[in-house]
Amino acid sequence: MKRDFLTLADFSTQELKEMIESAIKLKEERKNGIFRKYLENKKVALIFEKSSTRTRVSFEVGVAEMGGYPLFLSRNDIQLARGESIRDTARTLSRYVDMVMIRTFEHERIEEFAKFASVPVINGLTNEFHPCQVMADIMTIYEKMGKYEGVKLAYVGDGNNMAHSLLIGCAKFGIDISIATPEKYQCLQDVVEKAKTIAAETGAKIEITNDPFKAVKGADFIYTDVWASMGFEDEAEERKKIFIDYQVNKNLLEATGKRTYFMHCLPAHLGEEVTEEVFESEISIVFDEAENRLHAQKAIMKWLFEQIDN
């Protein structure tokens, strides 16, 4: 049966844990030079309407390492740039390839693509969600803590696609999460309510606040992202003034009251959302997260193909 990977809300906690377990195994095998051909002879189209470093390289390498063939397609490489509809693109590519990953704008675009595609579709990023990144983040958290429950993550900054996916992801895995954003940059209320509904089943605690020092109290991990995501560059200077009190610095880290890891999805703007002192410190695990994009995405692709085979 075809399954799409659009948001973490579409999967059970057990299914997501299976993917993390698989990612950890794939990572260990890679270190030992073992590359199993789970995607042998599979063609995976990688559509990029937004530029990328980690998403592009990790998916291309991941497909190749599992024996598949990655096809990089920028917006200008295909007819989307000339007005061909999402639905027609989906139906056409489904005749050529076995899976599609898309990095795009409005989440509705990928939902429409998945509706008309007859092959699995993976969300490489939309304006509202970034589920592949959060799977890598949660894998990293598990590697550091050896557990999910009883762990607290604090997110400080813009209520963007990362905040949304962390809310859903933490709720699914039973990880406590506190989100601190400026008042006019809060997470979408429907995402918050969805996360609270999930948390009621897993026991995760969710806190939404405008106070970063309140949010980080007792946190095992502090997470942040750029203050002006792609598409909001024209607001960058204005946002610097609004978000200055949400910078992750030494004072904020000390407010946790414990040893706390620093996380970031990258790229980072040092001196803005995080100081260089914190970013380059021993508690920074940002490049562990970046590496785990490869392993988590390999596990996601493997799992999705297994659903078709079953």
Contact 195, 189 (CB under 8 A): no
- Same domain? For 160 and 126 the reply is no
Packing angle of the helix pair 286-309, 131-145 (nearest 10 deg):
110
272 and 301 in a common domain: no
**Residue 137 is a catalytic residue:** no
Residue ranges for the known binding site for carbamoyl phosphate are 52-55, 79, 103, 130-133, 265-266, 293
For the chain (310 residues), the mean pLDDT of every run of 10, in chain order, is 96 98 98 98 96 96 98 87 86 97 96 98 97 98 98 97 98 98 97 98 98 98 90 81 96 97 97 98 98 98 91
Residues 177, 68, single domain; the answer is no
pLDDT on residue 176: 98
Catalytic residue list contains 293? yes
Task: Residue 274: name the closest of 155, 162, 188, 166 by CA.
Answer: 155
Specify whether 94 is located in the same domain as 184. Answer: no
Same domain (yes/no): 30, 124: yes
Yes or no: say if 5 and 300 are a contact pair by the CB < 8 Å rule.
yes
189, with CB counted inside 10 A (0-12, 13-18, 19+), is: exposed
74 and 16 within one domain? yes
Active-site residue, selected from the candidate residues 187, 220, 225, 247: 225
Question: What CATH number did the domain enclosing 19 receive?
Answer: 3.40.50.1370
Predicted pLDDT of residue 20: 98
Catalytic pick among 130, 164, 239, 264: 130
Q: How many CA atoms lie within 13 A of 166 on its CB side?
A: 31
Asked about 14 being catalytic, the answer comes back as: no
What's the pLDDT at 143?
98
Query: Residues 112, 143: one domain?
Result: no
- Please check whether residues 152 and 51 belong to one and the same domain: no
Query: Which of the residues 98, 137, 265, 295 is marked catalytic?
Result: 265
Contacts for 257 with CB less than 8 Å, ≥ 6 apart: 217, 218
Range of the domain at 32: 4-130+293-307
Are residues 282 and 178 located together in one domain of the fold?
Answer: yes
pLDDT on residue 145: 98
Q: List binding-site positions.
A: 52-55, 79, 103, 130-133, 161, 225, 229-230, 265-266, 293
Which of 103, 239, 264, 295 is flagged as catalytic?
Answer: 103
Question: Which pLDDT score is estimated for 51?
Answer: 87
**Is there a catalytic annotation at residue 103?**
yes
Rounded CA separation 300/11 (Å): 12
Looking at the fold, whether 168 and 181 belong to one and the same domain comes out as yes
* 153 and 114 assigned to the same domain: no
Q: List CB contacts of 146: < 8 A, sequence separation 6 or more.
A: none
Choose, from 133, 170, 176, 247, the residue flagged as catalytic. Answer: 133
Q: Which of 187, 293, 295, 297 is catalytic?
A: 293
At 81 the pLDDT is 64
Token readout for 210 is 């405008």
* Cα dihedral across residues 17, 36, 145, 152: positive or negative: negative
- pLDDT tens for each residue of 187-221: 999 999 999 999 999 999 999 999 999 999 999 99
Known binding site for L-ornithine: residues?
A: 161, 225, 229-230
- In 110-239, the DSSP E strands lie at 121-125, 152-156, 176-180, 206-209, 221-224
Q: Are residues 11 and 104 in the same domain?
A: yes
> How many separate domains does the chain show?
2
Helix (H, G, I), strand (E, B) or coil at 19: helix
Say which residues have a Cβ less than 8 Å from residue 167's Cβ, sequence separation at least 6: 177, 179, 187, 191, 192, 195, 206
Cα–Cα distance between 62 and 201 in angstroms, integer? 33
